[in-house]
Structure formats: structure tokens, C-alpha cells
Amino acid sequence: MKEVQLFNISIDNITTEELLKNLGQKGGVVFTPNVDHLMRLQKDREFYDLYHQSDYRICDSKIVYYASRLLNQPIKEKISGSDLFPAFYQYYRNCEGVKIFLLGAAEGVAVRAQANINETVGREIVVDCYSPPYGFEKDELECQRIVDRINESGATVLAVGVGAPKQEKWIMCHKHKLTNIKVFLAIGATIDFEAGEKPRSPQWMSEMGLEWLHRLTSEPQRLWKRYLIEDMPFLWLLMQQKFNRYRSPFASESDVVIPDWQMPLLGQTLQEAGLLTPAQVQQVLRAQARQRHLRFGEILSDWGWLSQETVDFFADELPLIRTQPEKQPLGQYLKAARLLDDEQIHLILTEQQRERRRFGELAVQKGWLKQQTVDSILWYLAHSNSMKIA
């Protein structure tokens, strides 16, 4: 998946259709960078660090969309949280395994949103909701009650709309406790929109990048400082990047490049397999330099970038494949690496019988794997360390 670098984060250059398919297949945490987020990322170190741990960062703003074109890195599509969420529940309306929990909005608003969505979809796709009290994120007991309620609901998707950066920080702080949740969506004011509590801007304003103006005129007392003061330096930073003058406020650490010779074999293997980007490898190495007691793979699993099974496979099992005289089918290795499940393997094998195509080719075509990942495992299968004695 290609990325567009804007200031000190990368934004996924992806369409709504591609994102929806990926979320259904792999799950993940979705953040929606807009101008306000980008400005907060210049001064909030915690927000910055957590942002880089998300699985998807999608363009939420037409202004950001236009900015990418000015930088000659055109983003395919603006995907705001308020567009993504209804697209998501419509896309999975007939998938019984998709069950949504709404967290956010004022008392009673989330309940109305739940009723509206379920009526639109025609089933109880939103299984529960909760409007937390002000300051809930600082109350450990309240947060634990929320975690318990989400787990007990049986939800597999969590949509959080409590505003940035609160929603992103809460998700990353508690996601490891949410045992059934596969998809995490940070959606801002979307719950209010779904409930009919607040009107969305007219389509023409959104397309022209004037949605911020509509929101400002709707809630001037709450939003004037954000849009008229805090977000104004955006244009200045954009010009800095345009002329290669931009430097991250966290440059003392984030711009340090760890030389290749210091990269562990696991990091190199995962990068070659397309499971980590060079930027992600560098970020893990910097974290490891700060916490030398942690192993490279431990950081990956702790951050949720890769499952522990995937890390263990590429660290321990993959190198041994070359020494095994008898090789298993590719699907079995992908299952061991937790890159495909039994249902996906069965579907590929069934289709393979009809079309006589290679297993890896079908897995890539379906968007379940990258070609790099398939090629890396096939390389180990094709190259044996065993010596034949004449």
C-alpha cells in the first residue's frame, strides 16, 4: 500500500473500497488525519507516537487532499470518518460477524444513532452503545467499566467518537483489553451525524474544502479557536515542505536513521516480505534503542503491528524451512504465520481447482497478501541448505 508523506506522518493512499475490503480481511485501527490532527501532531508527542502505531491513516480532509497535489503526491480519495462509517456498515450489512459498538456523543445521542443505523441496515448491526461522562478517560474505573461493557456486548467493531486526540489515545491505550474487537474506528462527530443531532455540511461545501467553515458557523464558540488560530500555521508548514524546509518538531529522534548494519535479521526479513515499511523498521529500532531490554519482535507485537505468531514464524520457523527435506504446501506456512486462516485457505483451494492458478497468485489477487510476502516464503521453499552427498 502506497503512502503519502505529509509533515511528520504518512497517509495511506487508498480508496474506500480497498480500505473496506482490508478491514474485513485483516481488521485494524483507523485514524483520520485532517488539518487539526496534523497541527496537533506538531506539538503533542504522545499523540504523535500513538498515531504511528495505527494500521491505517486516511485522508479526512479535502484541504489535505489538495495539499497532497501541491506536493506532487496526489492522494486518490478523501475518506472522512463521517463517510467511512456509513460506508462500512452498509458494506457489511449482511455479514452477521460484524457487530458494532458505539462509544461517544452526549447522553441519549448514541442510542438514537444506534436505532437509526439498525433501521437503515435492517438488522441489529449496532449491538450496544455508551455515552461516557466528561473526563472519563482519566477515570480508570470508568474506563474498565467501558472495556467490560464492550467485551460483554460481543461487538467486533468499535467506533469511538469523543474527539481528537482523546479518541485515538483511548483506543491505543485500551485496545489490547478488547478481546473481540477486530476493527477500531476513530470517527469524531460521526455519531452525532448518524443520530441527526448535528447536520453535515452541504455536499458542495465538502467538495470545495469548506466543511470546516460550515462547522465553524454551526458551533462558533467551541470551534473558533481551533480553525482561526490553532490550524492557521498549516499553510506555512505546507510551504516549508514544498520547498524542502520542513523539519519535524521531534526531529532530534524521529529523523535519526539507524544504519542497515544495525538492523536485526528479523527486521530485514519482515521488510523484504512487505510486512514492515522502512519507516516502521526505523521506528522500532529507535524504540529499541530507548528500551534495550525489549526485543525487536516484542515491540512489534506490543504495538499491534504484527501478531506474535507472525513474528515467531519469521524469526524462528521460516529460516528452518530451507533445512527441511520435505516441504509443506504454501498455505500451511501462511496459516502458521497467521497471515491466512482456514476459511481463506479453503476458498483459495476451491478456486484453484476451477481456475488452475497458483495458490499465492490467488491470495494476492484477493488482497489478502502482498506479492512480496508470497515471494519471500517461496524463496525459502525453493532454496535448500541441505547438501547432497554423491
| 222, 266: one domain | no
Task: Give CA–CA dist 63/339, Å, rounded.
Answer: 36
Q: Which of 275, 306, 337 is the last residue of a domain?
A: 306
| 88, 229: one domain | yes
Task: Give CA–CA dist 158/175, Å, rounded.
Answer: 10
pLDDT above 90: residue 58: yes
Residue 244 lies in a domain: no
Domain containing residue 228: 3-238
Q: What is the pLDDT at residue 147?
A: 97
| 145, 183: one domain | yes
Beta-carbon contacts of 260 under 8 Å, excluding residues fewer than 6 positions away, are: none
| 41, 157: one domain | yes
User: Into how many domains does the chain fold?
Assistant: 3
Taking 3-state DSSP, the helix, strand and coil percentages for the chain, each rounded to the nearest 5, stand at: 55, 10, 35
Q: Which of 306, 341, 363 is the last residue of a domain?
A: 306
Residue 61 lies in a domain: yes
Q: Which of 76-80, 156-160, 362-366 has the lowest mean pLDDT?
A: 362-366
- Write the pLDDT tens digit of every residue in 312-334: 999 888 888 877 778 889 999 99
- Element (H or E) spanning 56, and its range? strand 56-57
Mean pLDDT of the chain: 88
| 334, 287: one domain | no
Q: Which of 121-125, 157-161, 366-370 has the lowest mean pLDDT?
A: 366-370
- Write the pLDDT tens digit of every residue in 174-224: 999 998 999 999 999 999 999 999 877 677 777 766 676 667 677 787 777
More confidently predicted of 56 and 200: 56
More confidently predicted of 121 and 256: 121
pLDDT above 60: residue 123: yes
Q: What is the pLDDT at residue 209?
A: 66
More confidently predicted of 226 and 380: 380
| 91, 21: one domain | yes
Strands (E), 223-378: none
| 300, 319: one domain | no
Q: What is the pLDDT at residue 384?
A: 57
Task: Give CA–CA dist 390/383, Å, rounded.
Answer: 19
Residue 175 lies in a domain: yes
pLDDT above 80: residue 375: yes
| 327, 230: one domain | no
Q: What is the pLDDT at residue 320?
A: 85
pLDDT band at 292 (very low <50, low <70, confident <90, very high): low
Q: What angle do CA 275, 291, 281 make, to 5 degrees?
A: 20
Residue 32 lies in a domain: yes
Pairing of strands 126-130, 56-57: unpaired
Residue 389 lies in a domain: no
Q: Which of 288, 306, 324 is the last residue of a domain?
A: 306
Residue 30 lies in a domain: yes
| 140, 272: one domain | no
| 203, 342: one domain | no
Residue 179: exposure state from Cβ atoms within 10 A (0-12, 13-18, ≥19): exposed
| 225, 138: one domain | yes
Residue 390 lies in a domain: no
- CA 302 → CA 40, 180, 327, distances in Å? 24, 17, 31
| 300, 369: one domain | no
Residue 279 lies in a domain: yes
pLDDT above 50: residue 386: no
